[in-house]
Structure 1
Amino acid sequence: MEEVEKGRLKPRIFINQQSRSRQWIPPEAGTIRVDVDASVLENGQAACGGMIMDDQGRWITGFKKCLGVLPVVATELVAIHIGLEACKSFQLPNVQLCSGSMEAINMISRDSGANHPLYNEIERVKHLLHDGQNVQVNYSIREAIQCADILAKAGHPVGPQTVLVTGIDPTCRRRFMEDFQGLRRTKDPPN
């Protein structure tokens, strides 16, 4: 999932055409999937959330956080950053990160220049992408990352500290179970 450029490992960032599915699609074996999303209310109050699941669709952790007033793309970048930080803290080496923000993905896949207004956040994400994890970043339609969307909306009242959700969050339990049941139906039956 990485390439070597100028003697450094460079993560591959690309759009996975399969991510157009409305259903959650598991990553390849041995890889965990991180879904992240942002929520910005009409008054500009921003929050983000996400979930980390293994290649069998099992919940590892989730997160939610209130961020104060931020533009949408900045909130998406923070969500990506928190998701990658969580993977790093759990020592998860193979990561497929899915975001519904093509704009944020484009920002971290290109050289935005030091004058970009979100330069610091972009660089924080890029640093994590080059920090020893094998990361693949994909665009995903919102319907396929609905649990992350629900967690992002649930982040508004939680305050400025990142809240890690160790069990399936009650706010997204129904959607998580729908995705998990759909995943089980699409797997080949055991021999």
Structure 2
Amino acid sequence: MATRSNQCDFIGAGGIIRDHNGDWLSGLSMNLGVGQVINDEAKRMLSGLKLASNLNTRKLEGESNLAIVAKLLIEVCPISHPLDNIINSCRHLINGFDEVQIRHIFRECNCIADALAKGSLSRDYGIVSVVETVSFDAPPPHAASAFTDDLCDLARAGSVRTRP
């Protein structure tokens, strides 16, 4: 998920990989600098798919809080579309999974991804548009309560979730 800070117009992205029980497997957080949210949501999906692939995930449920990104991943993306390269990279990774389901999730339900994205804004963007992706093997302190709330069904967090 991509989020804008009220204090500066920087965009951060965050995502989570959970197993079929909803337990934390890994998470990611990136400060993407200044840009358009749609581009950054597509980049977050790409990073999440790479992380899930590196974890040798076979079945995947991916969620995006931007309906257009989910739609572009599910349907044919026109060659002339500005996100064509990122979407095609996502599709290439998607082809490596046994089963994949991509869907839109409302931003209000993206508590964990939002906490991870906001946490990324405290880090430097990087040098010459090099984006540092930070991975987490457990919920970081600033996202722990959102993750606990989700496990207790108090919130439905945006995530990439593996399936049994």
On whether the aligned pair clears a TM of 0.5, the verdict is: yes
Closer, same or farther in 2 for the Cα pair 1:163/1:111, shift >3 Å? same
Aligned-partner residue type, residue 75 of structure 1: D
Closer, same or farther in 2 for the Cα pair 1:38/1:133, shift >3 Å? farther
Distance 2:104 2:77 in 1: 19
Match of 1:104 in 2: 69
**Is residue 88–residue 133 contact of structure 1 (8 Å, CA) maintained in 2?**
no
Distance 1:116 1:73 in 2: 12
Report the alpha carbon displacement of residue 85 of structure 1 after superposing the two structures with TM: 0.6
Q: Secondary structure at the match of 1:55?
A: coil
**Is residue 74–residue 102 contact of structure 2 (8 Å, CA) maintained in 1?**
no
Structure 2: segments with no counterpart, 5+ residues: 126-130, 155-164
The structure richer in strand per residue is: 1
Q: Which has the larger radius of gyration?
A: 1
1:180 partnered with 2:159: no
Match of 2:11 in 1: 46
Match of 1:80 in 2: 45
- Runs of 4+ in structure 1 off by over 6 angstroms are none
The CA deviation string for residues 3-29 of structure 1, in whole angstroms up to 9 with x for no partner, is xxxxxxxxxxxxxxxxxxxxxxxxxxx
CA RMSD of aligned residues (A): 1.8
Aligned residues: 147
Distance 2:9 2:99 in 1: 34
TM-score, reference length from structure 1? 0.71
Report the alpha carbon displacement of residue 112 of structure 1 after superposing the two structures with TM: 2.4
Sequence identity percentage: 26
Relative CO higher for 1 or 2, CA cutoff 8 Å, sep ≥ 6? 2
Distance 2:39 2:64 in 1: 13
Report the alpha carbon displacement of residue 132 of structure 1 after superposing the two structures with TM: 3.3
Within a 5 Å distance, the mapping from 1:9-24 to structure 2 comes to none
Distance 1:107 1:182 in 2: 29
Q: Secondary structure at the match of 1:74?
A: helix
